[in-house]
Structure 1
Amino acid sequence: MLRRSGLIGTLIALLVCLLWPPASAAAADSSCRVLAPGASAAAERAVGAACAQVAADVWYTWGGGHGPQPGATYGQVDPTDPASEHDPERLGFDCSGLVRHAYAEATGSDILNGVAGAQYYTHHAAGRFTAADGLAPLLPGDLLVWGTSQDLHHIAIYLGAGKMAEARQSGTKLMVSDVRLNGGYYGAVRIDPGPVTGHVFRTWGTGVWTKDRPSTAAARVYAFPGPTTIRVECQKHAEKVTSDGYTNDAWSYLPDYKAWVTNIYIQGPAWLENVPTCTF
């Protein structure tokens, strides 16, 4: 027969066992690692690089990670976010800075140097997925983005099993989160770190808009924040455009954006060499 003190101790131990989650379940809630099979070796290395920063308890800091080389930097004050007042004192990453660092570590090359929009529209894309596709086709290392085609304002690294690693907002550390499929989720891109195929050029100028048709009156798709490396599928003669002292009727189709841009803002001749004429 148990003594009273022994009985109480046994009951307490039983209660703890019932209420305390198993170690494996607790770890699954916050574990930062590859959580599903099928990713490329480079994508798995990118997840590992991002998770190393999560494990190191690194800060989110606005503008962090956008120095001359990939890696943590001190941030800036975001004038729209009072919580960012201490970001200049914090060494860390913003969302795209973390993605840049992760893939630079994974590939040995700074292939994703840019903000969230530039990273999503990268010419190093192996595939893209819409919000309607959900998470089913995604693999660890894919990059999830939020916003609109014109303004993609957040990006994170998919881990698998509905989880992601992200630099979320000022005042927080890098973290593992459940993927948020509401609140403006736009889609995802899978990165191919290998050689880029197709016709690669560089734009010039800032705030240059791509269009959903080869016309200045067409709907805007995305604006290049600055000179950007692009992949051109084909070109054709369409609406004549005069801008910045140049006139040209040639437009190029950019498959990574599913959009058009006037050749005025593509470095090179007015009609790009070795680029075929579009048949659509």
Structure 2
Amino acid sequence: MSSRSGPRRTAPATTLLAPLAFLAVFLWSSPASPAAADSGCRVLAPGASAAAERAVDAACEQVDKDVWYTWGGGHGERPGATYGQVDPTDPASEHDPERLGFDCSGLVRHAWARAAGSDLLNGVASQQYYTHRAAGRFTAAQGLGPLLPGDLLVWGTSRHLHHIALYLGAGKMAEARQSGTKLMVSDVRLGGDYFGAVRVDAGPVDGRVFRTWGTGVWTKDRPSTAAGRVYAFPGPTTIRVGCQKHAEVVTSDGYTNDAWSYLPDYGAWMTNIYIQGPDWLEDVPACA
């Protein structure tokens, strides 16, 4: 009995070795969990500058990490994700103070700071669009044809730009869209209040750069206080001045001056009263 029981015990064990070995190989070669979905966030067209491609990479890194949109996120002392705030106009923002993330301009600020190594675009969407570091501007009527990855797309009006996103190419953009969602890749929305785009130049600034003072100071479409309003500076802002001219005399905040400066990034005029410096700015040519 003993001589016949040995083979009966070993035969089934030998038979099991093959399927067990196959299972082990299968488990070893198979992923432990499903692969993360490809967000599609990357540079999707050629022609962008190296800095612009780095900005896209930095934004996409946050998209791929499933970072939250948070209202006010990304506007700390330094670029980077921060806890958000409750937006009084949006009930979906109730959890934003608990979430580390970015709002639309916070993401753009972070992406370009990583790309350039300095805090180039510290501000809200309108301040970023009207940056004095603009290498080019594109209207809504021009569509996507002239755009390159890294360009900034904006929505709203000249008086109030309320949303900004980073173009990827191929009709796609990376954006922090709204409370209750993660950072995402979206199709560019050309309808509605799409305003246009700006191309950022991380290099030296072409032209004379000054700083404004005061809050709520309007630029005008002509050098006159009665002219149409273009954009109001929410606070002290760095601006590029193209030229200046003598025009309407303005008295405001204890100063009187007839000098007006043309701001090419805004396509608008501003009284020199609210530009830090002498009444007639030094080294700025007179407008032709």
TM-score of the pair, normalised by structure 2: 0.86
State the partner residue of 1:13: none
1:168 aligns with 2:180: no
Gaps of 5+ in 1: 1-25
1:275 aligns with 2:284: yes
Of 214, 221, 243, which residue of structure 2 is paired with 1:234?
Answer: 243
Larger radius of gyration: 2
Identity of aligned residues (%): 86
Q: Aligned partners of 1:197, 1:38: CA distance in 2, in Å?
A: 22
C-alpha deviation, 1:233, in angstroms: 0.6
Paired letter, 2:246: H
1:137 aligns with 2:146: yes
Provide Cα deviations, 1:59-99, integer angstroms capped at 9, x if missing partner: 00000000010000011111111111111111100000000
C-alpha deviation, 1:267, in angstroms: 0.2
Q: Aligned partners of 1:81, 1:219: CA distance in 2, in Å?
A: 32
Q: Aligned partners of 1:98, 1:212: CA distance in 2, in Å?
A: 31
Q: How many residue pairs end up in the alignment?
A: 252
Provide Cα deviations, 1:223-245, integer angstroms capped at 9, x if missing partner: 11110000001101111111111
C-alpha deviation, 1:275, in angstroms: 0.8
Q: Aligned partners of 1:183, 1:277: CA distance in 2, in Å?
A: 39
State the partner residue of 2:160: 151
State the partner residue of 1:121: 130
State the partner residue of 1:96: 105
State the partner residue of 1:41: 50
State the partner residue of 1:110: 119
Q: Aligned partners of 2:99, 2:229: CA distance in 1, in Å?
A: 36
Paired letter, 2:206: T
Of 225, 239, 245, which residue of structure 2 is paired with 1:216?
Answer: 225
Gaps of 5+ in 2: 1-36
Q: Aligned partners of 1:90, 1:211: CA distance in 2, in Å?
A: 40
C-alpha deviation, 1:183, in angstroms: 1.8
State the partner residue of 1:260: 269
**Runs of 4+ with deviation above 3 angstroms:** none
C-alpha deviation, 1:194, in angstroms: 0.1
C-alpha deviation, 1:125, in angstroms: 0.6
C-alpha deviation, 1:197, in angstroms: 1.6
